[in-house]
Structure 1
């Protein structure tokens, strides 16, 4: 187990070097997701940004909430995120290299938990959703956006996804990449005890599914 985690960390540490640049082609989806998210936030919220990457989303929403606990398994991602916070003088984000199962996070601690572009890369989405449910306060919100790799996508994106799947299979990319449909995400949330209050399908070369669900 530790070997697998270690490989994943090394992979994401390496990816951090060009992460923001590689995500630029999906900026429409990222920007739209952040704008939709802001509608559900308020100044008293304590938020977890799970799988925060280089911290772009946390920085974008920081002025809408009380505090953010932004976490990622990659120390390199966290280093970049911290530099962004210093440059923009944002002080209400606590960045940590860890995962959602860290025992420091207690039950019913968060008003909102974000998982942007995460659920298709975790080993067991249902277990992750159970943990998110535990960490949310009563009536807390889970907000996610997830690439749906079995839904509509452009031809070139599809070719890239097929290549990624091959690299995953042979171990070059040491993380699971799930080909989810939006309906499967709906089922995961229902099975996790959530009540979906809003969904939106976003498309720019690939399909992503934006969901707001309540505990």
Structure 2
């Protein structure tokens, strides 16, 4: 187990509590996402965390493959699915580069609060493009830490970045602007069909983009 997995395993205990602070952002993200889902869709939820979104969207799609690198996150997500009697979501500890996922396997790929935490966002977007069927949808919501945020959130992010630089936290937090996310998605051969900056203490940038080639 690497340090990143250990970090997210530890974070899983309080993950849902920390997410509650941004309830407005999560609710608006869900509302926007649901407009783009169809009952025939096969979905990949990349970085599913404790499975809240996968369980929420399950009734609107055919099936969801929900993945996360943290075994503890997947354990919580699986229990959540069982409690809510969700039968069409498969929770699995793995990465998006797992070879079991073949080219053009999915109608939709979800990536919520992920792109700012990975070493190479462009590699992730390129892999998502590879996994999507022709004209498939990539739906994401990403914190934009160079844009509007409250003083409290700003101080928390500043502290997190300091801890990251000195090696206590094994995750690099990327400070995106929404325009940089637009470029990232366009460079990955996607065409945005809906975007929205959502603010509640911090700015999250919602994007729904179609695979174009």
What is the TM-score normalised by the length of structure 2? 0.98
Tell me the matched-pair count. Answer: 211
Match of 1:96 in 2: 92
Map 1:10-49; keep pairs closer than 5 Å. Answer: 10-49=6-45
CA distance in 2, matches of 1:27, 1:173: 25
- Local SS of the residue matching 1:107: coil
After superposition, residues 32-181 of structure 1 pair within 5 angstroms as 32-181=28-177
**Which whole-Å deviations, capped at 9, do the CAs of 1:111-154 have from their partners, x for residues lacking one?**
00000000000000000000000000000000000000000000
Following the alignment from structure 2 to structure 1, what is the Cα–Cα distance between the partners of residues 166 and 30? 34
**Counterpart among 177, 188, 195 of residue 192 in structure 1:** 188
- What is residue 210 of structure 1 aligned with on the other side? 206
What is the distance in 2 between the residues matched to 1:71 and 1:120? Answer: 17
RMSD, aligned CA: 0.6
Tell me, in whole angstroms, the C-alpha distance in 2 between the residues paired with 1:21 and 1:54. 11
Aligned partners of 1:25 and 1:199: how far apart in 2? Answer: 22
Whole-angstrom distance in 2 between the partners of 1:91 and 1:206: 34
1: CA distance, partners of 2:190 / 2:38: 21
Structure 1 residue 176 displacement after superposition = 1.4
Structure 1, unmatched stretches of 5+, are none
Counterpart Cα distance in 1 of 2:105 and 2:63: 12
Q: Which runs of 4+ in 1 moved over 3 A?
A: none
Report how far residue 179 of structure 1 moved.
0.3
What is the rounded CA distance, in whole Å, between the counterparts of 1:36 and 1:195 in structure 2? 17
What secondary structure does 1:48 align onto? strand
